[in-house]
Amino acid sequence: MAKNLGALNFGYLGVLQNDYLIFCALADFGTATLVLAFFGRRATHGQLLVQIFQLRFFLAITSMLLMCLFAFTIRWHHPAFRGELILTLGLIFQHAFFDWYFICGKFWKRFLISKVLHTISYSAIMGFALLYLKLDKIESIAFVMIFAAIPAWGFGVFSAFNKRILIFRRRTVYFIKLMLNKAFPFALASLTSFAYLPIGIYAADVLAPPEFLAAFNFSYKLIMLASGFMISFLSSSLIIQHETLDSHIHLRDILSFTFFITILSSPLLIIPQFVLKILFFAAPWTASLLETSSFCLRLLSISLILQAIRLPMISTMLKEKQIWKYVGVISIGGIANIAMTFGMVTLTSQFHLIPLFTLSGDVVITVIFFVFFFNKKRLAW
């Protein structure tokens, strides 16, 4: 993609993909987490299955309409405008649309088939489009992204679809209202998380030259990928929390895990140019583009260390179902991050420091968690 689009349009594609992820979070609205936590295997059959699918389709269609509205109001003159309209269809044809069904029912073989099918179709279709057809327009690539997801989506339809899903009843309306009410804190926590690292790419798009956005996008993609892996560590930590009766948070555990993450992320700090050139091997690198992107990668990689520091505290809070406190802390950090990033760049015109300002939310939330558990006298060695 970077080779076909060029660095500048690849940066705009990064903005488009970020928009899409936000509307994907809105289309989920925390309901997948709620279904897994509340219903489990019961969600895979009977009227409950029908109602959950109706809820998911309702949210997807609502998000599509909102994304169209966003495109016409915010992205009207943006290079990603037409790609934005095309990707609205992706909110329905997500390859992961049926993941909750496979997980709830413990249909692990079908779940694996779905993922393998998506990997093969995405690799083959995108490879053909980029290498053979040499598509070099954002909107063309956006369309192919949707098309590549359809085989896995179709497999999900074949596995779980029921014609009763098309029949809405009054009971369905009540169910949707109830689920949205219960899922609201989970949705708010998910949406607020976009006020952290993703706000940097928006600041770069609005307040910096296109060349900086292009450089920032390369480093941003790697950090977001690594942050996604951190969710796996959070899930593991939650499982461990449920298996222990110890209510204290041990500093030695925080230090050891932080040291582990620091070692893993050290190439991003020490040899960022090498990492970028290896992973984005086909990118149209220039000396200035590579230097700026390396600078951004060094700063943004600190976010991974801050995430590691607060991970045991987050898992403890979630285990104890202190959802609203968690949402409150995340919201405070997100607001501080937005104010700091946009405010400082506007005041100082130092757009090259956007990666540094973007870390302010991570710092604020980490400090708040430490203060909270220190006041509760729950920190121990």
Block residue for tokens 């279904």: 35
Token pair of 97 as six digits = 């649309």
Beta-bridge mates of residue 379: 249
Residue 240: the pLDDT is: 60
What is the pLDDT, as a whole number, of residue 233?
A: 66
Which pLDDT value is given to residue 327?
Answer: 83
Q: For residue 380, which phi and psi values (nearest 5 degrees)? A: -140, 160
Whether the model clears a pTM of 0.85, i.e. scores above it, the answer is yes
Cα torsion 105, 110, 116, 119: sign:
negative
**pLDDT, one tens digit for every residue, the chain (381 residues):** 999 999 999 999 999 999 999 999 899 888 887 787 677 778 778 788 888 888 888 999 999 999 999 999 999 989 999 999 999 999 999 888 888 888 888 888 988 999 999 999 999 999 999 999 999 999 999 999 999 999 999 998 888 777 777 777 788 888 888 888 888 887 887 788 787 888 899 999 999 999 999 999 999 999 988 887 777 666 565 556 555 655 677 788 788 888 888 888 899 999 999 999 999 998 999 999 999 999 999 999 998 888 888 887 877 777 777 778 888 888 888 888 899 999 888 888 889 999 999 999 889 988 998 888 888 777 777
Map out the domains of the chain as residue ranges. Answer: 2-187, 196-380
Q: Which two tokens stand for residue 191?
A: 């949406």
pLDDT at site 243: 56
pLDDT computed for residue 161 by the predictor: 76
